[in-house]
A and B are shown apart, each in its own frame.
Chain A
Amino acid sequence: MSYTDFLAVHGGRLLSGAVITAEQTILAAILAVTIALIMGLMRLAPNLVIRGIATVYIELFRGTSLLVQLYWIFFVLPLFGVSFEKFTAGFVAVGMNLGAYGAEVVRGAIQSVPRGQYEASIALSMSPADRMRRIILPQAILIMLPPWGNLMIELLKGTALVALISVADLMFQARQINGTTFLSIEAFGSALVIYYIMARLIITPSMRRFELFMTRKMGRA
Chain B
Amino acid sequence: MQDFPLQLEDDTIPMVRFSKVTKSYGPLTVLDSLDLDIAANEMVSIIGPSGSGKTTVLRMLMTLETINGGVIYVDGRPLTHMPKNDRLMPADEKHMRKERVNIGMVFQHFNLFPHMTALENCIEAPVQVLGMSKDEAVERAVDLLRMVGLADKRDQHPSRLSGGQQQRVAIARALAMRPKVMLLDEVTSALDPEVIGEVLNVIRHLNSEHSLTMLMVTHQMGFAREISDRVCFFYGGKIAEQGPPDQLFGNPQNERTKQFLSAVLESH
Contact = CB atoms under 8 A, between A and B. Distances in A.
| A contacting B, Cβ–Cβ less than 8 Å | yes
Interface of A: 114, 116-117, 119-120, 122-127, 130, 134-135, 138-139, 142, 217-220
Given A120-B107, A120-B113, A135-B113, A219 B158 contact: yes
Contact of B129 (A116, A124, A139, A218): A124
B116 A219 contact: yes
Given A122-B64, A218-B114, A220-B114, A127 B157 contact: no
A127 B98 CA distance: 10
A35 to B, nearest CB: 25
A139 B112 CA distance: 12
B159 interface: yes
Contact of B112 (A120, A126, A138): A120
26 contacts: A116-B107, A116-B109, A116-B110, A120-B113, A122-B63, A123-B105, A124-B125, A124-B129, A124-B174, A124-B177, A125-B100, A125-B125, A126-B125, A126-B128, A127-B128, A130-B128, A135-B113, A138-B115, A139-B114, A217-B115, A218-B114, A218-B115, A219-B116, A219-B117, A219-B157, A220-B115
Interface in B221-243: none
A141 to B, nearest CB: 9
Nearest to B108: A116
A125 B111 contact: no
Given A119-B64, A124-B173, A219 B107 contact: no
A119 B101 contact: no
Interface residues of B, number: 32
Interface of B: 62-64, 97, 100-101, 103-105, 107, 109-117, 124-125, 128-129, 157-160, 170, 173-174, 177, 183
Nearest to A113: B114
Contacts of B103: 123
A219 B111 contact: no
A117 B125 contact: no
Nearest to A117: B111
A219 B177 CA distance: 24
Nearest to B100: A125
A169 to B, nearest CB: 39
Given A120-B112, A126-B124, 12 more contacts: A114-B111, A117-B111, A117-B113, A119-B111, A122-B62, A123-B103, A125-B100, A127-B128, A127-B129, A130-B129, A139-B113, A219-B160
Nearest to A115: B111
A125 B115 contact: no
B111 A120 contact: yes
